[in-house]
Each structure stands twice: as C-alpha cells, then as structure tokens.
C-alpha cells in the first residue's frame, strides 16, 4: 500500500520552485470565452459535487459602488479558482472579473475571462502583477478582484490563518490612490453531508469599505487574517451544529436512481412506523 506523500503541501510557491519565466498576459473579458468557461466550469462542478449552497449573497450589493471590490477566500484545493469564477460571474454578476494565477503559462486562454499571471519567483517578479492591479483594477469600480491572501494552497482548516502581505498592500494602494476599496471575505467548505457526493457551502461575509488605515502593513495583515479566521471558524461551527439557516442552493443535482429508491424505501418505512404507533 502506497504511503501518503509528505509533500502534499509546500510553503514555497510553485513558480519559485520551478524557476520558470512567466510571460505577463493582460486580461480581458471576451463574451465567447465566458460562455465556454460557464459551460465547462459549471459542468465540472456539477459532475463532482452534489450541490453548491450560498449564504448572504446579497452582501455584494452593500458595497460602496464608487470603489472596486476585492473578494478574498481560503485556498485549500484545486477547485477554488473555478468556484470563485462562478460565484463572481453568476451570483455577483460583476461586469469585470479579475484573478491573479500562478503558473498561468499553463492556461493562457484564461486571460480572456479576466485572469492574469503572478510570478512569485521573487519580490521583483511579482511587481508587474501588483502594478497592473494597482493601475488597472483597483481604479475600476466595475471590477471584482478574486485573491487568495494566504499566497499558497494550505491544508483544509489550517490554523492559525496566515496571510501574505499582498492584500494589505493592495488595500493601502487603493486608499492612497483612489480613496478606498471594498473588502468581501468568503468562507468556503467542501464537505460530505447526507449525499453520496460532497457538497460546497459558501458563506459571504459583510462587505467592509476601507477608506483609511490606522495600522502599518504588518499589523493590518495580522488583523485581516485574525478576522478572517474567526469568520471561517464560525462557518465550521455552524456546520458542526447542523445549522444551515440562510443557505440557498446555487445548484443542486437530481438524486441518482439508487438514491431515489433508497428515499422511497425510507418514506415507506417511516409511514408504516407511524401507522403502527397510532
């Protein structure tokens, strides 16, 4: 029996490990490619998960519409980017979706749905992506930027929550250059409930409009991480207590034929038990 690899997670970004040159690609939003992405990403999610349920999705409407919005979420697995795209594009219906992706040379067509690369080989190589974000994303009130502030994929439920300095840096730049920015935290949990396939629960936090910063970058990063950890832990606590109040299905698959038979048999058994207890 093969042992589980000890190298499932690394603290070193993949672009730094591979030490490859990443060509910068300017993002755009091409309707044709959005149609393709909607179909492919949606089908992939539906094939692998029984449902996606969302909570507090109206939070996005409470943003200050004079500023761009940064949507930030945990990064625990491969599905996060696809799910983030579907959430922003279909629930928020943001006019412009933007996301920074490592190793984007492997997925160059993603630039047509709003993605652009970030190379973490060194601080200098990351600068082009952050400069583009500052100059062309944070100054656009129609933009919704998705980032994973941990900077790398972390194991599920990793604690304490640790953020890189990128989110605080972008907020500082937005406040200084454009007067402010909206921050929207999102807790995501991939879990098995009562079905034969896992389900995804997405909890949108309250939007915070930042127009001034009273802390240095290190302090601000720590405060953001601590606040996000409490938010994610609250979602975990609710799941553990079977508290799903407020969640609505973004999509829900039909039961397989054997699950329908199982449900029918259970209903028959329950009805029979009720008759016997009368």
Q: Counting runs of H as helices and runs of E as strands, what totals does the chain give?
A: 7, 9
Q: What is the mean pLDDT of the chain?
A: 88
What is the average per-residue pLDDT within 202-226? 95
Looking at the predicted structure, is the pLDDT value of residue 222 above 90?
Answer: yes
Could you please report the per-residue DSSP string of 117-137? E--TTSHHHHHHHHHHHHHHT
Looking at the predicted structure, is the pLDDT value of residue 218 above 80?
Answer: yes
Model pLDDT, residue 203: 97
- List, in sequence order, the alpha helices (H) in the chain: 14-18, 31-48, 80-86, 123-136, 166-178, 217-240, 257-277
Model pLDDT, residue 268: 61
Q: Per-residue pLDDT tens for 168-178?
A: 999 999 999 99
Q: Per-residue pLDDT tens for 43-92?
A: 999 999 999 999 999 999 999 999 999 999 999 999 999 999 999 989 98
Model pLDDT, residue 16: 74
Angle separating helix axes 166-178 and 123-136, nearest 10 degrees: 40
Lowest mean pLDDT among 84-93, 158-167, 254-263: 254-263
For residue 69, which of 93, 42, 90 has the smallest C-alpha distance?
93
- Angle (CA) 47 190 85, round 5°: 65
Looking at the predicted structure, is the pLDDT value of residue 265 above 90?
Answer: no
Model pLDDT, residue 7: 76
The terminus-to-terminus CA distance of the chain in angstroms comes to 54
Rg of the Cα atoms in the chain: 21
Pairwise CA distance, residues 270 & 267, whole Å: 5
Q: Report the DSSP beta bridge partners of residue 183.
A: 70, 208
Model pLDDT, residue 102: 84
**CA of residue 27 relative to chain centroid, distance:** 19
| Tokens found for residue 275 | 């008759």
Looking at the predicted structure, is the pLDDT value of residue 271 above 70?
Answer: no
Looking at the predicted structure, is the pLDDT value of residue 263 above 70?
Answer: no
| Tokens found for residue 217 | 């970058």
What torsion do the CA atoms of 91, 75, 82, 13 make, to the nearest 10 degrees?
140
Could you please report the per-residue DSSP string of 99-120? EEETTGGG-GGGGGBTEEE--T
Looking at the predicted structure, is the pLDDT value of residue 194 above 90?
Answer: no
Model pLDDT, residue 112: 95
What is the average per-residue pLDDT within 218-246? 96
Place of tokens 């500052």: 134
Model pLDDT, residue 256: 59
Looking at the predicted structure, is the pLDDT value of residue 254 above 90?
Answer: no
Q: Per-residue pLDDT tens for 91-147?
A: 988 888 999 988 788 888 999 999 998 877 766 767 888 999 999 999 999 989 999
Looking at the predicted structure, is the pLDDT value of residue 260 above 70?
Answer: no
């Amino acid at each position: 029996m093969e042992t589980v690899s000890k190298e499932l997670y690394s603290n070193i970004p993949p672009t730094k490990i591979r030490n490859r040159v990443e060509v910068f690609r300017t993002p755009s939003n091409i309707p044709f490619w959005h149609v393709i992405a909607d179909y492919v990403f949606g089908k992939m999610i539906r094939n692998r998960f029984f449902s996606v349920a969302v909570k507090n999705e109206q939070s996005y409407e409470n943003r200050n519409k004079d500023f761009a919005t940064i949507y930030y979420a945990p990064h625990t697995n491969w599905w996060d980017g696809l799910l983030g795209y579907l959430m922003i594009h279909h629930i928020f219906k943001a006019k412009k979706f933007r996301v920074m992706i490592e190793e984007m040379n492997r997925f160059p067509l993603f630039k047509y749905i709003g993605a652009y690369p970030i190379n973490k080989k060194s601080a200098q190589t990351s600068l082009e992506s952050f400069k583009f974000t500052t100059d062309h994303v944070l100054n656009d009130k129609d933009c919704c930027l998705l980032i994973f502030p941990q900077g790398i994929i972390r194991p599920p439920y990793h604690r304490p929550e640790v953020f890189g300095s990128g989110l605080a840096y972008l907020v500082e730049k937005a406040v200084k250059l454009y007067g402010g920015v909206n921050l929207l935290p999102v807790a995501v949990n991939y879990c098995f409930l009562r079905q034969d396939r896992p389900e995804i629960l997405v909890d949108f936090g309250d939007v915070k409009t930042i127009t001034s910063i009273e802390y240095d970058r290190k302090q601000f990063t720590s405060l953001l991480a601590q606040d996000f950890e409490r938010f994610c832990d609250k979602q975990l606590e609710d799941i553990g207590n079977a508290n799903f109040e407020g969640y609505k299905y973004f999509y829900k698959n039909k039961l397989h034929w054997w699950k329908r038979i199982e449900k029918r048999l259970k209903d028959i058994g329950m009805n029979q038990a009720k008759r016997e207890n009368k």
